Amino acid sequence: MQVPGVIYDLEGQAKRTEESLNSLKVGFSLAGMIMFLLLASQFRSYIQPVIIMTAIPFGLIGAIIGHYFMNLDITMISIFGIVALSGIVVNDSLILIDFINSKVRDGAMIFDAVIDAGQSRFRPVLLTSVTTVAGLFPLLLETSFQAQFLIPMAVSISFGLMAATVLTLVFVPSLYVVINDMVGIFIAGEDEDLSNENG
């Protein structure tokens, strides 16, 4: 028997979860594109935004390790935390790359600029992450029933941020140097080919 104006669905929670995941995929992809375009417009480069956004997988690694360490399953709330984390973790890379670019514009060699960035920005980057994790720490220790719903999100953000900070301080500057070397070799190879053609 059907009641006019009433709609019901027999597929249950599985369908709702699938719809949420599909919506997150679209939203996350759109957010990533917007983030890339904003960074590209600011840095006037298509390569540097990619270097900056490598922090996102670093955060994902930390979130997964955090759930394993805390003996929690990855839930929809965990994924919401990972999506939020993606916007947070790029900050450390952004600070480093901007500082390196500033030094290079002032005439420093790329390798020297990277070393100087690591030394000068280490404390601000570390303190920014530590204060964020410290703010979430009480929630991680909360045992009340109401807090259990939010703990997976806090685990994703805090552990993901810790891992992304450590890996960003090591790998992002290294990646910057490697890519600049590769671009330099590529340009030098093109110049050599042109000189051979002209000769």
The reply to whether the predicted model has a pTM over 0.85 is no
Query: Which tokens hold the place of 51?
Result: 């270097």
List domains and CATH numbers for the chain. 53-191 (1.20.1640.10)
Kindly list the distances between the CA atom of residue 76 and the CA atoms of 16, 36, 112, 132, 145, in Å, as whole numbers in the listed order: 11, 25, 44, 22, 18
In this structure, of 13-17, 92-96, 121-125, 142-146, the range with the lowest mean pLDDT score is 13-17
Q: What is the pLDDT of residue 2?
A: 59
What does R_g of the chain's alpha carbons equal in angstroms?
Answer: 22
Mean pLDDT of 33-37: 87
Mean pLDDT of 2-28: 70
Please name the residue that has the structure tokens 């530590």: 130
Residue with the larger pLDDT of the pair 197 and 103: 103
Q: Which amino acid is at 198?
A: N
d(CA 80, CA 23): 11
pLDDT above 80 (res 18): no
